[in-house]
Structure formats: structure tokens, C-alpha cells
Amino acid sequence: MHGAMKAIITASQLADDLTGDNPPVLLDVRWQLSVAKAAGEPGFDGRAEYAAGHVPGAVFVDLDEELASAPGERGRHPLPDTAVFGTAMRRAGVSAARPVVVYDGGQGWAAARAWWLLRWAGHPDVRVLDGGLPAWEGPLSTDVPAPAEGDFEPAPGAVGLLDANGAAALARSGVLLDARAGERYRGDVEPIDRVGGHIPGAVSAPTNENVGPDGRFLPAGDLRARFASLGASGEPEVGVYCGSGVSGAHEVLALAVAGIPAALYVGSWSEWSSDPSRPVAVGPDPQ
């Protein structure tokens, strides 16, 4: 279990660490959920944003291509092929003995997905820049670095991972949090997936309520209190899902800041709802 100091990092601490003896590898994972892109139309271009300016030394990582495999029956952002993921991380300079810091455009979801994947794959020291690029007070660069090849070899299984059956079981035996917006949980609207609603027994816990207006996480004590009010204190076991395993990773990160371990259902609602035989609950209540 990671505490707050190992899950996130402030911009000032990052600036200090970059001048230290073992500076972190920096990954830029700018990405946004785009209904247009989901429909096959042009969407947000993280690579163009990176090219326009990034934290000096940061390497761009493409969430759709390198932090997920192709969409299909396992959801819109299934786990990436381990070999593809490992190659991408080594290309970015990731090594087992060097810390990694990940950031995005400020929402935190994409950075959290990279954080979670690296943790799941066994990297011992990964943090997310709290507040993302908007929190960075140093200069930006348009230079594209060419880091030395890293040595990171993924060893999956270091943190909790749920499949559809495991998520359904956890909703009964423990606490399964739904990180999506409340209207999608209730089934009032569903802009992307086949049907709206939630996994029966899951508790609505929108991840955007884990951050303040500046995009930074709430203090650890406030997060603990919030999760405790939802029944999630670490006992019984806690799991999280969202639409496609991206904003859910952000909630797992928030839980880590609060000191609460949690498993992620990567397939999430995009996988669950694609199978008409799986039950769907609607409305504000878990059942």
C-alpha cells in the first residue's frame, strides 16, 4: 500500500527531485475522454499538446496506443499487451531503479492510468504530479528528448485487478465504488456505452469529488472521511470501476492518497454493459 507521499508529488518537490542524484523519469500522458473520438471523429490530440510545450525532459506516452489495447469485448481501454507496454516504457527510459513521475493536462485521469499500470506491472516508485501540468511553475520545452533505453520488465500482478465476475462478487462481499459522474451511475444519461446504469450493489463515488477546484487532491484526511462515508475504509476489500478503467484509476489513486488499498476493474462499465446478459441497476441506490 502506498501512502500519500509515494502516490503523488507536488510541483515544487518535482522541481527539487529533477536536480537530485537520481532524477525521476518524466512521462507526459495528456489525454481526454472524447465522445467525438469514440464515434470515430477527430478528438483531443495529446501529442500536439505535448509538442507545443511540456516539462523539460518529459517523454510523451499515448494512452490509447500504449496504455491500453484495442477496444472490443473487454471494454474501451482493456489492459495493454504486456510486451507492448514494456517496450513503450523502456523507450521512455523507465528503469526499475529510477523513480517515475507521470503528469497530464490537469484532470489527473490519464496520469493515474499510467501510475496504476506501472504499479500493477511491478514498478516500485511511481508518483503523479498533483494538479498536472497547470501546477508546474517551471519552464516548458518543445525539445523532444531521446532518453537512454530503460530496463523495466513488467511483472503483472503487484496490485489488485478485477474482472467482471470479481467486480460483481466484490459488490456483494465488500465495497465496489463507481467513479463515474452520478448521472451515468443512475442511468439518466449514457453518452458512450450501450446502456446506462451501474453494477448491482456498486456505490456511486464520482472521482471528480476527490479533488478541489484547482485539480489537486483533497487532503488525505478529507479523502479518508469521504471514503469512510461511502463504506470504504479498507475493511472489507475495496474495488473501483468507471467507464473504461481510466477515471477509475484516478479513484484508486485517491484511495492510495488516503492510505486505502483498492483493486481496479479495468474493463469497467464499457465491458460490463456490452454483455446483455449482465444485470444493470438504475437509480441512485446501489441495488
Q: How far apart are CA 227 and CA 105, in angstroms?
A: 26
Q: Residue 240: CB partners within 8 Å, gap ≥ 6?
A: 176, 177, 178, 179, 205, 248, 251, 252, 255, 262, 263, 264, 265
Instruction: Please report where in the chains the cell 504486456 appears, as a residue.
Output: 82
- How far apart (Å, rounded) are the C-alpha atoms in residues 227 and 214? 21
Other Cβ atoms within 10 Å of 83 Cβ, number: 9
Annotated catalytic residue, options 135, 242, 253, 264: 242
Contact by Cβ (8 Å): 61, 92: yes
Is 242 assigned a catalytic role?
yes
Closest CA to 4 of 263, 258, 238, 261: 258
* Residues 242, 238: Cα–Cα separation, whole Å: 14
User: Hey, which residues are catalytic here?
Assistant: 242
